[in-house]
Amino acid sequence: MAGNSRGRETDAPLRAARGCGVVVALLGALLVAPAAVRAQQSLALARASALAHSGRCDETLELLQAGADDANGSRLLLQGQCALALGDLSTARTVLERAAHVDPELPHVELILASLRYREGDLEGARAALDAADAASADRAEAHLLRGLLLLHEARPEEALDSFDRARARRPEAVEPAASFVSGIAYRWSGDEQRSREAFLRVVVGYPGTIWAEEAERALAR
């Protein structure tokens, strides 16, 4: 990206996208789902899943740590997801990698690891984890959004836009307003300023008062 003037212009909003909530958007529909589908989950794990689903990850972690079980992949996965949602990347990485080792068949574990590595700035690691994701995970809206972000970092805005469109078509509520925001970046970089502004305005109008709207307003001012 550094060799392209448009790339330099979009560096700031792209960094903002990585730090201001893309990971939360990626995890929106995934959070607690793997644990919830396990018939053998304990009552405590079921309660922890319910807490996480309501956004109470602090309480979730307290409950999970009280009954720690390093051999329970679902418990580890939920613990790692909550650590990630709270911004504790080091703990999230350790716990999620342990979960993947304990139970490689856990739903979406590679996709969640990919989102973690993207948040850390490990783009190669994110790409490798995304490539390793199972077919069901790879076709999720969250996966298409992440794939598009990685393509954007590779200075491939047209391909990134295809991924963002697929993400919004699959499940818009899981990826918006992130998908519209990064689409604005990709359109600008590809030279389509009108569509870029339309995408940023969609964020400003549709999600007022959010950090996404603030970043979109900054992008519109450039």
**Whether residue 13 is found in the same domain as residue 44:** no
Q: How far is CA 173 from the centre of its chain?
A: 13
DSSP 198-215: HHHHHHHHHSTTSHHHHH
Q: How many separate domains does the chain show? A: 2
Handedness of CA 24, 29, 30, 32 (dihedral sign): positive
User: CA 175, CA 164: separation in Å to the nearest integer?
Assistant: 9
On whether both 14 and 64 belong to a single domain, the answer is: no
Q: What does the alpha-carbon distance between residue 73 and residue 101 come to, in Å, rounded to a whole number?
A: 8
140 and 197 fall within a common domain: yes
Q: What is the pLDDT of residues 77-111, one digit of tens each?
A: 888 888 888 888 898 899 889 888 888 888 888 88
Q: Minimal CA–CA distance to 98: which of 113, 85, 111, 120? A: 113
pLDDT exceeds cutoff 70 at 20: no
pLDDT of residue 3: 40
pTM for this model (two decimals): 0.76
Q: Which tens digits make up the pLDDT trace of 149-175? A: 999 999 999 999 999 999 999 999 889
Looking at the fold, whether 139 and 222 belong to one and the same domain comes out as yes
Give CA–CA dist 54/137, Å, rounded: 23
Say yes or no: 6 and 44 in one domain: no
The C-alpha atoms of residue 165 and residue 12 are separated, in whole angstroms, by 22
Is residue 23 in some structural domain? yes
Domain assignment of residue 188, given as a range: 1-29+135-222
